[in-house]
């Protein structure tokens, strides 16, 4: 089953997503540049828990008008399968990449969430007994002496069950069209949605995977051979049409299911506007991977009133 969006075939299928624990951190700094440097370092090597220490990414830049300390900020999100692992990887990323970065401070990005995770007291031990607990900007914080001056970190941050693994798969005539479509999809997600991240490099996956392996039983994931264009004459069950020679995937994690669904919708609209895109589909395993079925048709219905304009 399929339908069309302009000249592009949209497969009537769903992206199979799954729950992961998530936290959202607000990094502020003296300048937007330094906030971004800290955020980008703190979210490095955060593509997939298949092999990386937690999934993470930059959500958005935040105006100094709404940050606790009146400085430019960046929201980042970090995901893991359980709270203990999430706490460990979050502390590591803060300690190595945000504490060390000039002029930064760290605040909770989910202040209304009741479930809390203690971070500040752990990081504060870097102060070697000279750290101080305080209240600043209406928040309970730790003031840690560092060579530059002080590092301010909020004592606790919110934790919730987010949704990971939302996705769209773009099938194109060549890699140039496919990459342009994928770039436009990521740009649309950044422009029109909130509460989501695209954790892979530049938000784009060129090596989509399947669960397990046909040949190597110890591997957790291997290449999604059904969507490899070079195998369309080799694999009987290949999903690649004759006129498709390149495939890209966009993976989306979000704080809420509806955020991920909206992000999928604007991504589809943006990708379908690129000449050379043949089909858009999504990755699923028949409901065996996760409990969330995010249908492409529903995603487009959510954004039916949004005219995606990217310049």
Residue 273's CATH number: 3.30.70.520
Residues 145 and 240 in one domain: no
Which three-class secondary structure state does DSSP give residue 199? Answer: coil
Dihedral pair phi/psi, residue 284, rounded to 5°: -150, 165
Q: Record the pTM.
A: 0.96
Residue where one domain finishes, among candidates 127, 160, 193: 160
For the residues 132-158, what does the mean pLDDT come to? 98
Residues 220 and 269 in one domain: yes
For the residues 82-100, what does the mean pLDDT come to? 98
Task: Return d(Cα 63, Cα 71) in angstroms, integer.
Answer: 8
SS3 content of the chain, % helix, strand, coil (to 5): 25, 35, 40
Distances (CA, A) of 218 to 142, 212, 222, 289: 44, 8, 11, 18
The domain in which residue 235 lies consists of 2-16+163-302
List helix spans (H) across the chain. Answer: 32-42, 83-93, 120-124, 175-192, 257-272, 296-302
Residues 98 and 167 in one domain: no
**Structural contact between residues 279 and 229, judged by C-beta atoms closer than 8 angstroms:** no
Residue with the bigger pLDDT between 288 and 80: it is: 80
Residues 85 and 217 in one domain: no
**Structural contact between residues 62 and 73, judged by C-beta atoms closer than 8 angstroms:** yes
For residue 28, list its beta bridge partners: 73, 105
* pLDDT tens digits along 20-67: 999 999 999 999 999 999 999 999 999 999 999 999 999 999 999 999
pLDDT, mean over the chain: 97
**Structural contact between residues 311 and 40, judged by C-beta atoms closer than 8 angstroms:** no
Q: How many Cα neighbours within 13 Å face the side chain of 230?
A: 3
Question: Residue 272 pLDDT > 80, yes or no?
Answer: yes
* pLDDT tens digits along 170-206: 999 999 999 999 999 999 999 999 999 999 999 999 9
> For a pLDDT cut of 90, what percent of the chain falls above it?
97
38-45 contacts, C-beta under 8 A, 24 or more apart = 38/74, 38/97, 38/98, 38/101, 38/104, 39/74, 39/76, 41/97, 41/98, 41/101, 42/76, 42/93, 42/94, 42/97, 42/98, 43/76, 43/78, 43/93, 43/199, 44/97
Residue where one domain finishes, among candidates 132, 160, 188: 160
Query: Predicted confidence band at 259 (pLDDT cuts at 50, 70, 90)?
Result: very high
Residue with the bigger pLDDT between 182 and 311: it is: 182
Residues 183 and 209 in one domain: yes
Task: Return d(Cα 106, Cα 94) in angstroms, integer.
Answer: 8
Total tally of structural domains belonging to the chain: 2
**Is beta strand 116-118 parallel, antiparallel or unpaired with respect to 156-172?**
antiparallel
Residues 65 and 195 in one domain: no
Q: Which of 135, 116, 108 is nearest to 27 (CA)?
A: 108
Question: Residue 286 pLDDT > 80, yes or no?
Answer: no
């Amino acid at each position: 089953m399929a339908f069309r969006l302009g000249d592009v075939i949209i497969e009537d299928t769903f992206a199979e997503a799954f729950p992961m624990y998530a936290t959202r951190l607000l990094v502020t700094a003296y300048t937007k540049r330094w906030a971004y440097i800290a955020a980008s370092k703190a979210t490095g090597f955060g593509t997939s828990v298949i092999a990386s220490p937690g999934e993470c990414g930059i959500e958005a830049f935040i105006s100094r008008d709404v940050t606790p300390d009146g400085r430019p900020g960046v929201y980042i999100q970090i995901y893991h399968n359980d709270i203990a692992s999430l706490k460990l990887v979050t502390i590591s990323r803060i300690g190595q990449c945000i504490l060390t970065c000039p002029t930064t401070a760290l605040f909770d990005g989910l202040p209304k969430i009741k479930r809390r995770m203690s971070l500040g007291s752990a990081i504060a031990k870097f102060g070697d007994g000279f750290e101080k607990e305080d209240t600043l900007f209406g928040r309970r914080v730790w003031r840690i002496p560092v060579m530059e001056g002080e590092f301010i970190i909020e004592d606790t941050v919110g934790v919730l069950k987010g949704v990971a693994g939302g996705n769209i798969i773009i099938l194109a005539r060549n890699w140039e069209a496919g990459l342009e479509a994928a770039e436009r999809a990521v740009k649309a997600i950044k422009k029109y949605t909130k509460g989501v991240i695209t954790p892979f490099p530049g938000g784009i996956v060129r090596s989509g995977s399947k669960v397990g392996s046909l040949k190597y039983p110890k591997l957790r994931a291997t290449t999604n051979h059904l969507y490899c264009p070079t195998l369309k004459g080799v694999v009987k069950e290949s999903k690649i049409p004759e006129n498709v020679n390149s495939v890209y995937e966009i993976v989306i994690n979000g704080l809420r299911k509806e955020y991920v669904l909206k992000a999928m919708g604007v991504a589809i609209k943006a990708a379908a506007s690129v000449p050379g895109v043949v089909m858009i589909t999504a990755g699923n395993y028949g409901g065996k991977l996760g409990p969330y079925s995010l249908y492409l048709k529903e995603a487009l219905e959510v954004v039916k009133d949004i005219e995606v304009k990217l310049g």
